[in-house]
Amino acid sequence: MRPSRTLVAMWFSVVLAACAKAPEGPGPGARVVPVDVATAQRTDVPIFLDGLGTVAAFKTVTVRSQVDGRLDHVYFREGQSVHQGEVLAQIDPRPFINQLRQAEATLARDQAQLATNRRDLERFQVLAERKLISQQQADDQQGLVAQGEATVRVDEAAVAAAKLNLVYARITSPLEGVTGIRNVDPGNIIHATDTTGIVVVTQLDPIAVFVSLPQDTLSELAEQQSNGPLEVRVFSRDGSNELGRGRLEVIDNTINTATSTLRLKAVMPNPKQALWPNAFVRARVLLTTRKGALTVPAHALQRGPNGTFVYVMGTDHRVQPRPITVERLQDDVALIAQGLEAGDVVVTEGQSQLRPGGQVAPRAPAQKAPAPKAQPQQTPETP
């Protein structure tokens, strides 16, 4: 038996009504998006210039002998800290002692001869006044005295030179520093013309750091340096440990055309010798500190076709994009020139799911888990 046309029509009506019924749940745009937020605030922001640095000894001296002779003794240990004037090595002094005695003897002989000539000159002058001898004889004696005086001065210089060579035979440190690896052992004959020297002494406290920065930073750097010395902070290569702080001493007078970089020299204390010559470091030059700058986290910034903007959350927990002008990025902080006011709440995480007028739910800041307490070690019981 076929169903009637009325029943078929009613069945189609029910199916069409069920298909036309809207699905349950929130409509488009009604979903609440969980986000992280931060408040724009005014704070003091230090402005840094970051660059790569190379550590160098503040002073480096290759200790060489200034006289020829046999190296008798070495009084330093390799890697030892030495003071200025501390004895490092001794050259056999006996040849220089003999030279000094010989020079002193020659001086004494010529001084005695000069004294005799002066007494003769006095007698000749008296006799010449009485016309008992010719004036020529008196003048000749005067010349002998002058010649003797010059000879004595030469002898005094020879004595001084011999004493100086004796001093040079005792080799001392020219500065406060650390000795390197010894280049010559006792017993060897060394010469003043040797190029390698006995040892290299480097001054490590204070120490120098050479920093490379882009040439575009020159104008800003020079302007701030004219107001006073700039602080330089030095970190390990990965930036995790601060190794020292000092001040900028000089900006190099030329720019490296190959790399378009500017070279700076900073000097800083190094009492714990955390910095070592030729080590690579990260350096930060503190230009200035911006007082009361309006800041937001740098990851709140978004880029669009019309420029930089942020999502600002209203009191109703709905967000709207707002164009801003960023003055500067410093580390993970953005300094805002226009577009925001202190107290505005901006979205810092979850922007990809937002649209104008969308509703958000700020997430609570993550709480750090308490560090586990250290359990005392139990020593095994002895049987």
In a shared domain, residues 85 and 186: yes
Within a domain: 3:
no
Enclosing domain of residue 353: 33-45+292-362
Q: Are residues 163 and 125 in the same domain?
A: yes
Q: Are residues 193 and 76 in the same domain?
A: yes
Model confidence at 235: pLDDT above 70: yes
The β-bridge partners of 213 are: 262
Mean pLDDT, range 137-152, rounded to an integer: 91
Is the pTM of the predicted complex or chain greater than 0.85? no
267: pLDDT confidence band, cut at 50, 70 and 90?
very high
Q: Which helix (H) or strand (E) holds 129?
A: helix 94-129
Q: How far is CA 367 from CA 40, 269, 299, 364, 370, in A?
A: 21, 39, 20, 9, 9
Per-residue pLDDT tens over the stretch 84-108:
999 999 999 999 999 999 999 999 9
Domain CATH for 124: 1.10.287
The dihedral through the CA atoms of 65, 171, 73, 99 has a sign that is: positive
**CATH classification at residue 305:** 2.40.420.20
As a whole number, mean pLDDT of residues 192-213 equals 93
CB 40 within 8 A of CB 344: yes
Helix 94-129 and helix 135-168: axis angle, to 10°?
A: 160
Least confident of 3-12, 203-212, 263-272: 3-12
Question: Angle at CA 361, nearest 5°, toward 360 and 364?
Answer: 145
If we measure between CA atoms, which residue out of 42, 94, 37, 17 comes closest to residue 349?
37
Examine residue 241 and state whether it is found in any structural domain, yes or no. yes
SS3 326: strand
